[in-house]
A and B are shown apart, each in its own frame.
Chain A
Amino acid sequence: MASSNDNPALLDIAEVSKSFGSVSVLRSVSLQVAKGEVVTIIGPSGSGKTTLLRCVNFLESYDSGSIRIDGKEVGFRDGGARQRRSERDLAAMRAETGMVFQSFNLFPHLTAAGNIMLGLTKVRGKSKTEARSISEHWLSRVGLAHKADSLPAELSGGQQQRVGIARAVAMEPKILLLDEITSALDPELVGEVLAVVRSLAEDGMTMVMVTHEMAFARDASSRIVFMADGGVSAVGPPKEVLAAETTNERLRAFLARFRASHF
């Protein structure tokens, strides 16, 4: 990778720690993600993957350390004092990242197009007409042009998740966060969703994802991060991290268990 001076990280997570009561969920996690990178976080459940992802758009706060996007601190005001941003500032910062959820979380009272238009009109200040045409563009991009006026309840899980992705990317976020987006899907619906993610990656979308789809992680990621016990235990290109002969004991155990249960 280029030196940090001429290619500063788009996302810079520095020594982030967080605990719930006496349980430490993140222990001084540091991770840099460059523009256009696809970084996949793997690890056993309880290792802090999802918490880390949720800290990036400040759905969860953290106790110490910093998370910067394009050099700007996400949840706290610029300057020395660690002061939480105002509600308005937080909303503006969150609009810079997109998030796709395990349980889709589409707005059930709005159509597929309506789900996508909400942020475009309320946050980006676009007109209804413009928002509608942007939402149609993204719906056709995820193969759902014909479902623009369907309510979420009328869509399959795979279709709902593709709307979820369209809703996130239509906002033109700097980074897309994907939180186990195929875990709630029937196996036969996983492929259609991953195909969309892959095509976004090919377009250069910067992504950080948590997933249990190892084959997909291996093929689509620039780098893989292995988390254990709230810390980054291994990080590198997929081939290195997923190599069977790794000397990292915890990683080896995780991969062995994973192979035993998934292949």
Chain B
Amino acid sequence: MLSRILSGDFPRSRVLTAVLIVVVLGLALAPFVFPGARALNVAAKICVFIVLVASFDLLLGYTGIVSFAHTMFFGIGAYGVAVAITRMGPSWAAVAAGVGVALVLSFALSLVIGLFSLRVKAMFYAMITLAVAVAFQTLASQLSDLTGGEDGLSFKVPELLTPSFSLSETPFLGVSLNGKLISYYLLFAATVLLFLVMLRIVNSPFGRVLQAIRENEFRAEALGYRTVAYRTASNVLSASFATLAGALLALWLRYNGPDTSLSFEIMIDILLIVVIGGMGTLYGAVVGSAIFIIAQNYLQDLMKLASNATSGVPVLRDLLHPDRWLLWLGLLFIISVYRFPIGIVGKLRVNAWIKARAKAMAAATAKGVS
């Protein structure tokens, strides 16, 4: 049963399993365990990023393509919902229409980008997607009639999701059962579902071909796989999931603007998470997102303490300034790329594997002696 849900792709490491259980339980019980609006926002952001980062990993980790246009699809999803609700009013039909249109647009764009540029080297693809992403961001802030320009769009969500909607007057375990809570659990459920679907995809025969292409494109081609078709398909899939993540974000925030979903900072965040968590393992997206977003929100508090404590030491004080948290994550990122490119998840899995093998060998030796 569990094997079917996880598509046979188990964490394969006790530590990793424990971490995943903590993250999943933490997210599932967040409203009850971590009270307060800030904590719930952090939990929601982790959920959105799990989908977003996992979708990026489909491309980077499983296919070996670096795209800087991933936030474009994220933004399309967010704008799809925002624009549709602004125009059609806060109804589920508007949400459906927004998501639908966004998916179609993402599909078309990713198909065109994929077909045009996946034939070229990784470097060109990275450059061209970077240019496209910047152009799209400019476009979004220019079409202010549609997108609200730099200010973005604030909108109402269907009544079920509004804080004023209430399931019952009496709070449950000290938490009021309102639309915000429903929103959160809807987001959580969607995250679990989308993640499992992606897990299924990478463990399908299709996913195996993608990995074969990543390992040796020439050979995969020789074996008769049409690599461009496969890579384009993974591009399209990745874009679609990013679009859905964007829609989830917009529904949660009830707002969308260029900085929330399209900015290059988000692209950098995605890159950092994917690499630190581990490329080519979807579980890396879960672990990475949780660590990164908690760090983003709470590392700064910690650094404030450290910075205050070192306020007498000129350079150290500035290095530890809370606004410089990206410096430390950037360093961690660089070290990750060349010290352990398999990331946290890969490292944990390798450790577990080495332990298991040592055990097996010890057992074999013991047998041999007796």
Same assembly:
no
Query: Which positions in B face A, CB cutoff 8 Å?
Result: none
Query: Which positions in A face B, CB cutoff 8 Å?
Result: none
